[in-house]
Amino acid sequence: MRALHSSFIKPLIHLHIPFSTPIFSLSPLRTTFLHFHSSTTPSLPKLTAMATSAVDGNSTPDHVAGGWYSVPDLRLRDHRFNIPLDYSLDHPKITVFAREVVAVGKEEQPLPYLLYLQGGPGFECARPTEAGGWMSRACEEYRVVLMDQRGTGLSTPLTPSSMSQVKSAEDLVNYLRHFRADNIVHDAEFIRKRLVPDAGPWTILGQSFGGFCAVTYLSFAPKGLKQALITGGLPPIGKGCTADAVYKAGFEALVHQNEKYYKRFPQDIEIVRDVVNYLAESEGGGVPLPSGGILTPRGLQLLGLSGLGSSTGFERLHYLFERAWDPVIVQGAKRRISDYFLNAYERWIAFDANPLYALLHESIYCQGASSLWSAQKIRAENENKFDAIEAAKGGRPVLFTGEMIFPWLFDEVHALRPFKDAAQLLAEKKDWPSLYDIAALNDNKVPVAAAVYYEDMYVNFKLSMETASQIAGIRPWITNEYMHSGLRDAGSRVLDHLLAMLNGKKPLF
C-alpha cells in the first residue's frame, strides 16, 4: 500500500515548527478540554490554542491552529494536536499534524469536513502545491483535512535517527505497537471532536492502506462517520494473520505483471539479466550503495514494488534500466553499474525516509497472531520462479517482486540495519489487537462506496470482494480502467464517481 500510489499532488517543501515531543516522557499529564471549534464559528480568532494540558504547572495546548496561507487556488491552515501515544493512558504524548485545505474564498464557509487517510503504512500525506486532481473536486464542497498519520511527516516522525534514541529492541517494539490502524482511528476521532463544529460526523476518503484504516473506523467508531469512500483499500478482515493469503495472491499477480512488463519492453530482459549476473559475480554478492547498503540480485527485484503496480510504473522502470551502465570511455576499462542507477534505486526504495513501512508492513494483516515473515515464507514456495540468479544463468526473464518485506532487508538496507532485532520481534509478536469487528461491519449503517481495481497488484481483487460481502450497504465500483494509482491518475473522476454512488446520481440497479 505504498503511499506514492496516492500522491495526488506535487510535493512541496514547507518549513514548520512542530511541538518538541520526546519519544518517552514520564511526567504525568492532567487534561482539561475547552470546547472551541473551526473557523465556521464566527467568534474564533485566526490563531488559537484550543484545550490545554497542565504539566507541572505549565500549560501545553491540546490543539493549536495556525493562520491561513496560500498555494495556487487553495487556502491552507496547519493544525497540531497533542495526543496520547496510548489511549489507555494519559501520557506520554505525541504530536499529530493535520493540514486543513479549502478552495480560495471558502475559508469562512460552513463546509462539511472530509478526512483523507493516506496510503502506507508509514507514509505522510503529500504536500499541496496547487489545486488539482481529487483535491479540486473535494474542495468544491468539502473542507479537506490531510492528516499525517502518527509517526510520519510532522506527526512526531519515526525516522532512523529519531528511533535511534530508543536503546533496546524491546522498548522500540513496545513503542511501535501503537502505530497501527486502531490508533490512527483513535487519532482521527480525537481530531474530529476538536475540529468539526459540535463534534459532528465527517466523510472519510481512504486510499490503499488508508482504506484499511477506513474499515477499522467502520468497525469501531462508525458514529463519527457520515460517509466512507475507499479507493484500492478493502483489506482482508479474517482473524489471525491473513498475510499468507495476501502474499499467495500477490505472487500470482506478480507473475502476470512481470509478463506484461517484458512484453512491453522485451529489450529489458537482457539488460536486467546482465545486471543480475554482474551483481552476483561482484565481491560480497553485490555492489555498495551510496547510503552504505548493498545492492544484491534480490534487492534489485524490489524495484517491482513501485514499477509494476501503478499506471506509469512500466515506463519509469524501463527508463531506469536504460541508464543502468556507465559508458566505457577508455579502452579496456571494466564495465560498472552507473552512479545514476544506484542513486535512483535508493530513491525508488526510500526506506531511509519512511522506515515504518518496512517495520510495520506485515503487522497490518495481524489480529491475535504473528506474521513470522510471511512474504519470505511464501516467496520460498515460489523460488523456482523468483530466484533471480538462477533465472539469469538459465536465460529466463528475471521476475521483480512487489509489496513484500523480507528479513534480509534489515541486512542490506543501511537505514534499516539498526532495527533488525526489533523487526524480528515484530514478526514474532502474537498479541496484536483486533483491527476489525465483523459483526459491526455486518450491521454497518454508514454509506460506503469503494473503488475496487480488477488488476490491483497491491490489494487483491478477490480478497477485496470477500471483504465487501461482509460490509452491509457497501457499493463497490469494480473497474479495470485504473490500477492501484487511480486516485492519483484520475482523481477528480474517481472521487466524483464514488460520491455519485452515494448521493443518488448513480442509483442502485
- Distance, in Å, from the CA atom of 446 to the CA atom of 453, rounded to the nearest integer, reads 22
Residue 418 neighbours by CB distance under 10 Å: 17
Of the candidates 6, 155, 208, 310, the residue annotated as catalytic is 208
- Distance, in Å, from the CA atom of 473 to the CA atom of 103, rounded to the nearest integer, reads 32
From the list 135, 160, 110, the residue with the least C-alpha distance to 417 is: 160
Q: Phi and psi for 369 in degrees, rounded to 5?
A: -160, 160
From the list 186, 126, 157, 127, the residue with the least C-alpha distance to 2 is: 126
List Cα–Cα distances, 477 to 493, 500, 501, 508, in angstroms: 13, 11, 9, 12
Q: Phi and psi for 310 in degrees, rounded to 5?
A: -120, 170
What length does the chain have? 509
Three-class secondary structure assignment of 361-425: CHHHHEECCCCCCHHHHHHHHCHHHHCHHHHHHCCCCCCCCCCCCCCCHHHHCHHHHHHHHHHHH
- Checking DSSP bridges between strand 202-207 and strand 113-117, what pairing results, if any? parallel
Classify burial at 503, counting beta carbons within 10 Å of its beta carbon; exposed 0-12, middle 13-18, buried 19 or more.
exposed
Three-class secondary structure assignment of 395-409: CCCCCCCCCCCCCCH
Cell 510520519 maps to which residue?
A: 152
Q: Is 484 one of the annotated active-site residues of the chain?
A: yes
Q: Supply the DSSP string of 322-343, one letter for each residue.
A: HTSB----STTPPP-B-HHHHH
Alpha carbons within 13 angstroms on the beta-carbon side of residue 73 total 11
- Distance, in Å, from the CA atom of 99 to the CA atom of 252, rounded to the nearest integer, reads 39
From the list 396, 381, 385, the residue with the least C-alpha distance to 277 is: 396
H helices of 11-168, in order, are 133-139, 160-163
Q: Using CA of residue 304, residue 427, residue 217, residue 125, what is the dihedral sign?
A: negative
Contact assessment for residue 175 and residue 94, using Cβ atoms and an 8 Å cutoff = no
- Distance, in Å, from the CA atom of 409 to the CA atom of 429, rounded to the nearest integer, reads 19
Strands (E), 393-453: 448-453
Of the candidates 484, 485, 489, 497, the residue annotated as catalytic is 484
Of the candidates 20, 70, 88, 431, the residue annotated as catalytic is 431
Residues with a catalytic annotation lie at 208, 431, 484
